[in-house]
Structure 1
Amino acid sequence: MTTPKRYLVTSALPYANGPKHIGHLAGAYLPADIYVRYLRAQKKDVVYVCGSDEHGAAITIQAMKENTTPKAIVDKYHAMLKSNMADLGISFDIYHRTSEPLHHETAQAFFTDLNDKGFLEQHETEQFYDEQAQTFLADRYIVGTCPVCGYDNAFGDQCEKCGTSLSPEQLINPRSTLSGNTPIKKATKHWYLPLNKHEDFLRKWILEDHKNDWKSNVLGQCKSWLDLGLQPRAVTRDLDWGVPVPVKGADSKVLYVWFDAPIGYISATKQWALDHDKDWKPYWNDKETKLVHFIGKDNIVFHAIIFPVMLQLHGNILPDNVPSNEFMNLEGDKMSTSRGWSIEMEDYINDFVKQPNGGEQLVDALRYYLTAIAPETKDSEFTWKGFQDAVNSELVAVFGNYINRAFVLMHKLCGGKVPKFHNDLMDDADKQLLADILTTKATIEKSIETYHFRDGLAEVIALARKGNKYMQDKQPWITAKQIGDDGQPTEAAQALIDNCMHICLQLAANLAIFINPFLPNTAKKMCYMMKVVDKMLDWDNAGTTKLLSVGYSLRAPELLFRKIEDAEVAAQIEKLQQKSNQLKMNEQSTDAAETPAAPILKDTIQFDDFAKIDLKVGTITAAEKVEKADKLLKLTVDLGFEIRTIVSGIALHFTPDAIIGKQVVVVANLAPRKMRGIESNGMILMAEDAAGKLKFVAPNETTNNGAGVS
């Protein structure tokens, strides 16, 4: 597109069902904030919107856990999330919430428009229903045995033990979390968005129009979805918490959270416009607006496939880009609040920012490290030792050291004022450093505008490192020893000192501009030391060497950053281990309390039911890991009469090479289903030993492939 007239930037709405960790911060909020601060420095018309996602089963489940109401839950965590984001420098223009009346009105109007135009379809399906609770059950209200790994408490949308995405119909012996009873199937009518009718549009728009400017991880995931074939997706569900469906006779139905949540960007923009006496419509309807969605990879399908279809049908502009980050791990494991293996934003703020030796410098320390290791193209890892090294070896020893030395020497050698520059004494080192400033500006611009924030930040540090080398090579403190009869440096010596310090101070001012999108508190403190207003941070000023006027007095230096001590790192690692261990102990305690002395038998079945199962002996002839699925193996099994592909959740118990040639028992007449895009035709029978290790159920002696088991 041509130069945009305005920008609308969004970050994925976080669920208001609990605290969020620093992995969330690194994924969708910090990158967006850097981008927006850069645009503001360029004086662009930009609005940055976000808010709490306050509907869906996750909210009601958390309310049950805390023995309170969904409204109390969203009020509690909305306030926490809004405060945490502000404390860590995320500069939303508005942080809205989807429980607001304005959002309900906006989402209902959006649904009504699509429905009235015939873009939605109605289908009657059978869904799980709890007769005792007298309610239809959302995916997370159903648990059962995972068909992949055998875990007894898998949810209706995912098994948290093996990670497999599921549907309630795939669970073995499903039961309601509300009553504990086995749910029945009951007919219900819902509205669907027929995504399958828009595949041609999506293929062209994503895979052709944006093949050169979208991230490869986004393009790859979109292509995978499209290649598998899109299906109609329900936009309503039977719940009592959410945006009511605005259709007569749909009293017990609400808009599905995936449908109503992204519309929250629009309602947030409306509220911002009301608050500032602006018109919201150009930000969503004018093709000269550049819309950018910052998300994590688990939100790609919603923002790159589903929401664009909704926007196109509704007559809105489409996103120009959907920069998605991968996941950030923690100390060698996946970051997870539920498992206690995470660093919550709230905890970092309390442990570092709000401590006597904390403050804004520790906000920027976290922003620095999260940007430096951002999972822009692949998963990355946060370690406390890495955090310490980044702060001490880069922020303190390179950037902070340069600024401090420049100010100390300016006060010592130039009377605390900006010295003049003698053009006739300019040498190659001076010219090179001034050229480096201009080059750095151009490189940072390209990096930020193409969403490569790690590279942009690295350029700032690299320029500070060049400044340190320039200063060390010039050694003005040595030149100052060329003393005249008056006990002061000679005129020639002072001129050389002046040139060196003039360039060093102009570089310091440029570094303040360059670092501002990344570390805004640091830039603000540098402005204070230079006795200039924040307007100096305007991007147009970058690259110039007249930011600080000759003869202008500057304040005494203050340390921009402090070192992270070994004791702090050790304390955080110990805290992480204790939190994780405590949750495990609580889980084991709960499991022990809930587990009876004798095993629970499943519901009694008739012989005819058992007789329907066709068990066959087979031999595994090939095995390989399933890409991007740590717990799944793709097996090739010879059943004698045919060769089957079976996907099994046993990768944590067996290596592929170790099981080739093993005989197994297969449920041969199980309906096929796709897992990670692979059609699985059968199920391998497994047993669990006392230690929880899976073992193959197999004949004692070698048997012909295809032999029946009875």
Structure 2
Amino acid sequence: MEKVLVTTALAYTNGPLHIGHVRSTYLPADVYTRFLKMRGVDAIHIGGTDNHGVPIALQAELEGKDPEEIVEKYHEMIEEDLERLNIHFDEFSCTCREFNPDHVDMTQWFFKRLYEEGYIEEREVEQLYCPECERPLPDRYVEGVCPYCGAEGARGDHCEACGRYLEPVQLKEPKCVICGSKPEVRRTMHLFFKLSEFEEDLKKWLKSNDNLPKNVRNYAIQWVREGLKDWDIVRDLDWGVPVPLERYKDKVFYVWFDAPIGYVTFTKQYCNRTGQNWKDYWFSEDTKIVHFIGKDIIIHHALFWPAMLIGVGATLPYTIVAGEYLTLEGEKMSTSRGWVVWVRDFTKLFPADLLRYYLIVVSPLTRDADFSWEDFRDRVNNELVANLGNFVYRTLSFIYRFLDGNVPEAETDQEIVDRIKETHRRVTKHLEKFRFREALTEVLRLSKFGNEYFQEHEPWKLKDEDPERCAEVLRGCARVVKALAIMLAPFLPDSAEKMWQSLGYEDSVHDVDWEEALKDVEAREIPKPEPIFPKVTEEDLQKAKALLPEESGESEGPDDEYVSLEEFNRLDLRVGEVKEAERIEGSDRLIKLRIDVGDRTVTAVAGLYPTYEPEELVGRKVVVLTNIQPKEMFGVRSEAMILAVGDEPALLTIDESKREVEPGEQIR
């Protein structure tokens, strides 16, 4: 029997969960696993927390605590946050060496296998050393100026401004974050994983695996095209999994080497508990491994981790589902500014299912989404309360009041049977393809159909005029309620259970087979119905908004969302023809373009690669905004902006089917 192993990116224990974490990773994985289990698939959901690495060691040092204290505190908070949202795991553990020695053993097992196969190499490297603190400085112990974009405050591993991965020795004007002194460069021995040797294997896997989403495949292939570099897998720290070589006893593994191995550790712990063999999951062609992650860690899961799996002969992922970002009221979330909604704060105000619903329907997982309190209220009140909740409550209330509380014995209209069948087919197909928003939208369409059917057949009139027909109408509506409860169970577990119990069933909807949604509802007595969803009131909304600071620090207020006609008319939008295009050295996405806009040729820098190759842009007529403030990016002065749509940009081009359009023509 085929097994499906679902994993979620391990939550890093340097803080509790906010709604952005939930939307990209944990919620879709929970929905998918619940769906598989209802279909009778042998599926398990594995997750936990990631506990090593420089950020935790640094935070502990700054707070004067042991790293274990930081880990224990936030592991418990994260686990509680996930439980609040009814996100279920078959195994939820941690990678902490103090609390989980099994993970130390598994990480060292992986390393030894790779070492024996010749995929590990010793190299001398340059390392920053703080003479004041008398110790080496791994990545985040150093800050300085980014060598690529010149931004200040770049960390030793990453620049937030341009997104480049860095090494501490690359930083200009480096300083120790503990004492502020200038470090010196020293040489030391490190261990490297020979990622470059897997370049062809990874390229073949990425191109041949049709199950990988475009945002994952395209981003990973871009890295492979540029040439994979071998990967330094040790750090000069005392917090992490020890390297099992005597001459490296003062070093630990890099957190991104040991963290994904946690998936295997936790699987083994689950199997030990349930009497199974963990290798049946990780070394078997009969297992589909599905990783749910955020898009910021695509490279780790689509390149580094598969290479490690190939190196030890393990099963490669069936797919990697990478959720895009979630902003808050139009702005990037920031924990430092308090511009986030924490899970625990949300669940103090609203039932978990309201958040689950909104985060799924607000946008497809493959696109960035925005959380807005006003939109949240409107969707809950209009879609859950007025549509779904209204249909369930009015159907069951009518049965309770006028049919002695019994779902009647009667035939069901074929129209209802066909509609349920088609909805079930569509929802199933969408969930199989990880299209969660589309699947949930289909379920809501069925409840809308139910409302329209109820209204059209007017059972309040039929109860006196034609009781037999009234029974048929209400039994049909009850059958829709049953189908809704089953198909909503993966998405809204509490609400689906309420609906199921409202039909008089004594078992749990989560123990029901997925195909049961196609079967007729039983004639049985039902309890007194209660509303399924609470309405979000203005008072609720004000309490919710009070969770955010009055000023986010990035906008001047709601008036900025609107542009007057006078302001719009000041935009100089023109037709431009691309004359030259070339990649910008040092950037993953930027292309430099020279564009003829009629009275002059301007330079524009645009993030179009790898969606567009530079050579395919030459000759295209595009929409150009020419009167913007010039900005320098990667040493190139950008004087204009070209218009495109979406995260995988689609250029707005000029259709010349009616007449030839010349560069410089105004767009009005």
> TM-score under structure 2 normalisation?
0.82
Gaps of 5+ in 1: 353-357, 483-492, 583-620, 637-644, 650-654, 665-674, 685-710
- Is 1:512 aligned to residue 501 of structure 2? no
Amino acid in the other structure paired with 1:142:
V
Q: Deviations over 1:608-660 (max 9, x none)?
A: xxxxxxxxxxxxx9999999x99989588xxxxxxxx99899xxxxx975567
The answer for the alignment partner of 2:498 in structure 1 is 525
Provide the rounded CA distance (Å) in 2 between the counterparts of 1:579 and 1:60.
32
CA gap of 1:408–1:120, structure 2 versus 1, over 3 A, is: same
- Is 1:546 aligned to residue 516 of structure 2? no
Identity %: 38
Contact 2:497–2:509 (Cα < 8 Å) also in 1: no
Amino acid in the other structure paired with 2:391:
Y
* Deviation for aligned residue 1:93: 0.8
Provide the rounded CA distance (Å) in 2 between the counterparts of 1:163 and 1:580.
23
Amino acid in the other structure paired with 2:539:
A
* Deviation for aligned residue 1:12: 0.2
Provide the rounded CA distance (Å) in 2 between the counterparts of 1:252 and 1:580.
44
The answer for the alignment partner of 1:702 in structure 2 is none
1:54 to 51, 54, 67: 51
* Deviation for aligned residue 1:148: 5.3
2:333 to 328, 332, 335: 335
CA gap of 1:635–1:273, structure 2 versus 1, over 3 A, is: same
Amino acid in the other structure paired with 1:248:
E
The answer for the alignment partner of 2:416 in structure 1 is 433
Contact 1:12–1:294 (Cα < 8 Å) also in 2: yes
1:256 to 237, 254, 257: 254
Equivalent residues in 2 for 1:82-481, closer than 5 Å: 82-99=79-96, 100-147=100-147, 150-160=150-160, 163-207=163-207, 209-210=208-209, 212-350=210-348, 352=349, 358=350, 362-422=351-411, 430-481=413-464
Contact 2:25–2:323 (Cα < 8 Å) also in 1: yes
Deviates more, 1:506-515 or 1:532-541: 532-541
Amino acid in the other structure paired with 2:79:
K
Contact 2:486–2:514 (Cα < 8 Å) also in 1: no
Q: Deviations over 1:138-158 (max 9, x none)?
A: 111111123456544321223
CA gap of 1:143–1:275, structure 2 versus 1, over 3 A, is: same
Amino acid in the other structure paired with 1:317:
T
Provide the rounded CA distance (Å) in 1 between the counterparts of 2:117 and 2:406.
69
Gaps of 5+ in 2: 555-578, 595-602, 608-624, 638-668
CA gap of 1:647–1:480, structure 2 versus 1, over 3 A, is: closer
Provide the rounded CA distance (Å) in 1 between the counterparts of 2:49 and 2:198.
29
Provide the rounded CA distance (Å) in 1 between the counterparts of 2:11 and 2:63.
19
Provide the rounded CA distance (Å) in 2 between the counterparts of 1:325 and 1:112.
33
- Is 1:36 aligned to residue 33 of structure 2? yes
Contact 1:175–1:181 (Cα < 8 Å) also in 2: yes
Provide the rounded CA distance (Å) in 2 between the counterparts of 1:536 and 1:34.
14
Provide the rounded CA distance (Å) in 2 between the counterparts of 1:659 and 1:334.
23
Amino acid in the other structure paired with 2:394:
R
* Deviation for aligned residue 1:340: 1.8
Which structure has the greater CA radius of gyration? 1
Provide the rounded CA distance (Å) in 1 between the counterparts of 2:323 and 2:518.
34
1:9 to 3, 6, 11: 6
The answer for the alignment partner of 2:71 in structure 1 is 74
* Deviation for aligned residue 1:229: 1.0
CA gap of 1:466–1:176, structure 2 versus 1, over 3 A, is: same
Q: Deviations over 1:584-625 (max 9, x none)?
A: xxxxxxxxxxxxxxxxxxxxxxxxxxxxxxxxxxxxx99999
Q: Deviations over 1:140-193 (max 9, x none)?
A: 111112345654432122334565544323322111112222111111111111
* Deviation for aligned residue 1:271: 1.3
Secondary structure at the residue paired with 2:246?
Answer: coil
Secondary structure at the residue paired with 2:21?
Answer: helix
Provide the rounded CA distance (Å) in 2 between the counterparts of 1:659 and 1:387.
36
CA gap of 1:463–1:648, structure 2 versus 1, over 3 A, is: closer
The answer for the alignment partner of 2:576 in structure 1 is none
CA gap of 1:131–1:375, structure 2 versus 1, over 3 A, is: farther
Amino acid in the other structure paired with 2:241:
V
Contact 1:148–1:648 (Cα < 8 Å) also in 2: no
Provide the rounded CA distance (Å) in 1 between the counterparts of 2:592 and 2:506.
62
Secondary structure at the residue paired with 1:23?
Answer: helix
Contact 1:191–1:236 (Cα < 8 Å) also in 2: yes
Contact 2:440–2:488 (Cα < 8 Å) also in 1: yes
Provide the rounded CA distance (Å) in 2 between the counterparts of 1:204 and 1:153.
38
CA gap of 1:385–1:466, structure 2 versus 1, over 3 A, is: same
Amino acid in the other structure paired with 2:103:
H
Amino acid in the other structure paired with 2:53:
G
Contact 1:11–1:50 (Cα < 8 Å) also in 2: yes
Contact 1:441–1:542 (Cα < 8 Å) also in 2: no
CA gap of 1:581–1:534, structure 2 versus 1, over 3 A, is: farther
Q: Deviations over 1:94-148 (max 9, x none)?
A: 1100011110111011101111221111111111111222222111111112345
Amino acid in the other structure paired with 2:279:
K
CA gap of 1:65–1:313, structure 2 versus 1, over 3 A, is: same
CA gap of 1:659–1:391, structure 2 versus 1, over 3 A, is: closer
Secondary structure at the residue paired with 2:186?
Answer: strand
Contact 1:625–1:656 (Cα < 8 Å) also in 2: no
- Is 1:569 aligned to residue 552 of structure 2? no
Secondary structure at the residue paired with 1:125?
Answer: strand
Provide the rounded CA distance (Å) in 2 between the counterparts of 1:441 and 1:646.
49
Secondary structure at the residue paired with 1:420?
Answer: coil
Provide the rounded CA distance (Å) in 1 between the counterparts of 2:331 and 2:222.
26
Amino acid in the other structure paired with 1:143:
E
Provide the rounded CA distance (Å) in 2 between the counterparts of 1:581 and 1:520.
37
Q: Deviations over 1:231-250 (max 9, x none)?
A: 10111111110000011111
* Deviation for aligned residue 1:324: 0.8
Amino acid in the other structure paired with 2:216:
V
Amino acid in the other structure paired with 1:431:
Q
Moved over 6 A (4+): 621-627, 629-633, 645-649
Secondary structure at the residue paired with 1:576?
Answer: coil
Provide the rounded CA distance (Å) in 1 between the counterparts of 2:318 and 2:361.
25
* Deviation for aligned residue 1:377: 2.0
Aligned Cα root-mean-square deviation (Å): 3.0
* Deviation for aligned residue 1:534: 3.5
